[in-house]
Amino acid sequence: MTTSSPVLDDRIQSYLAETTIVRFATVTPSGRPHVAPFWFATDGERIVIGTLANQTTRNLAANPDCSLLVDLGTDFRDLRGAHIRGHARMWRDDEVVPEAVRTLLAEINRIHSDELRESEFERYERWETRVHVFIEMIPESATWFDLGGAEMGRTGNGAQRPIGPASR
């Protein structure tokens, strides 16, 4: 029997706190995977990404299933992170955006405030005309890993299923 545990548990939240960029995966209408890097913020219940209308948002409009990878470390001894699965909701900047999402969007801007003021980013903003889109990922399950520590585990749906060396 499987039980449900918090998806973004303390371990996964600590991994997310160590980085400012995650890899976000969606499925194209033809069923192919699509992965792109994004700035993000989380409150422990959701992960929010602010972006422009692009392939990721077109994919989510057709299929809200998505996953996110946080990967840390540069060699096997310190390779750790989590693969988070869930579904997404989206809003355009001309729509009413829920307060929890707006709060996390403000956090993204705070985290990246220095980058947002750089001349390269300001030049990019001047020529970019695509509409802003806000993505809220609702995590449903995750697999975390710490390869150097020989540990793996699951959270959320299916968390009771054994994984890694302990499952042998």
> The tokens of 141 are what?
């399950």
Domain boundaries, the chain: 10-156
pTM over 0.85, yes/no: yes
Beta bridge partners of 38: 22
pLDDT given for residue 1 in this prediction = 38
Distance CA 157, CA 57 (A): 26
Distance CA 87, CA 96 (A): 20
Beta bridge partners of 35: 25
CATH number of 10-156, picked from 2.30.110.10, 2.40.160.10, 2.60.40.10, 3.30.70.270: 2.30.110.10
| Per-run averaged pLDDT (10 residues), the chain, 168 residues | 70 96 97 97 96 96 97 92 97 93 96 91 85 96 90 79 57
pLDDT given for residue 125 in this prediction = 83
Give Cα 103 to chain centroid, integer Å. 16
Where helices occur in the chain by DSSP H, the ranges are: 10-17, 55-62, 99-111, 113-116, 119-127
Residue 58: strand, helix, or coil: helix
pLDDT given for residue 2 in this prediction = 43
